């Protein structure tokens, strides 16, 4: 299989990943149903995860692992959960990518990994206080295009 990331890009990411502070666990959900970008996305995520020892990746299937997909609220393939990991303990911060993170969105993948690794949302205190007070789930869907 041809690598998606060339050596220059890998070296750049390795430098950025020097800023990783804590382990990050990537949960990839693919599908055997029509999913033209599943294979490329899985490969991309695996290549990124291989760059740092602080990153781990697990590959799941939306249908075969439907209980897990439901638990993590993943309803699109390719779907990616970017979670924190301490030992065997996975902590979900609600960060998801749906679709292939290519083009500009590849940067979003790398930034999301750094953010989850920092364990700090960077939000201001008022925002945090309000979000903590939420008693009903809030779903933010940010629509983006790769170019």
Partner 1 sequence: MIQAEMVEATEFPELTMRHSVSGVPQTTINAGKAHVVGAVPEQNLLAEIQRVAAK
* Minimum CB–partner distance for residue 10 and partner 1 (Å): 23
| Nearest to partner 1 of 69, 100 (CB atom) | 100
**CA gap 56, 26 in Å, rounded:** 6
The C-alpha atoms of residue 16 and residue 64 are separated, in whole angstroms, by 35
User: For residue 39, how many other CB atoms are within 10 A of its CB?
Assistant: 13
State the nearest-atom distance from the C-beta of 106 to partner 1, in Å: 11
Helix or strand run (H / E) with residue 107: helix 104-118
Question: Residue 87 and residue 135: Cα distance in Å, rounded?
Answer: 29
Structure tokens at 95: 């960060």
What tokens appear for 45 in the block? Answer: 């995520």
Min dist. Cβ of residue 86 to partner 1 (A): 21
Q: Is the Cβ of residue 37 or residue 56 nearer to partner 1 in the bound state? A: 37
CB-wise, 39 or 53, nearer to partner 1? 39
> Minimal distance in Å, beta carbon 142 to partner 1?
5
Binding site for partner 1 (CB under 8 A): 36-37, 73, 76, 94-101, 105, 108, 112, 123-124, 126-127, 130-131, 134-146
C-beta closer to partner 1: residue 18 or 142: 142
């Amino acid at each position: 299989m041809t690598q998606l990331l060339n050596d220059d890009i890998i070296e750049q990411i390795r430098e950025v990943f020097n800023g990783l502070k804590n382990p990050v666990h990537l949960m990839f959900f693919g599908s055997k149903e029509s999913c033209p970008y599943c294979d490329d996305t899985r490969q991309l995520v695996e290549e990124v995860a291989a760059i740092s020892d602080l990153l781990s990746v697990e590959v799941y299937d939306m249908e075969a692992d439907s209980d897990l997909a439901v638990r993590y609220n993943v309803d699109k393939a390719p779907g990616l959960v970017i979670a924190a990991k301490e030992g065997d303990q996975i902590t979900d911060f609600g960060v998801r990518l749906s679709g292939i993170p290519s083009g500009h969105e590849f940067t979003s993948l790398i930034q999301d990994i750094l953010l989850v690794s920092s364990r700090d949302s960077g939000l201001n205190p008022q925002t945090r206080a309000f979000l903590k007070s939420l008693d009903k789930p809030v779903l933010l869907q940010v629509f983006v295009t790769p170019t």
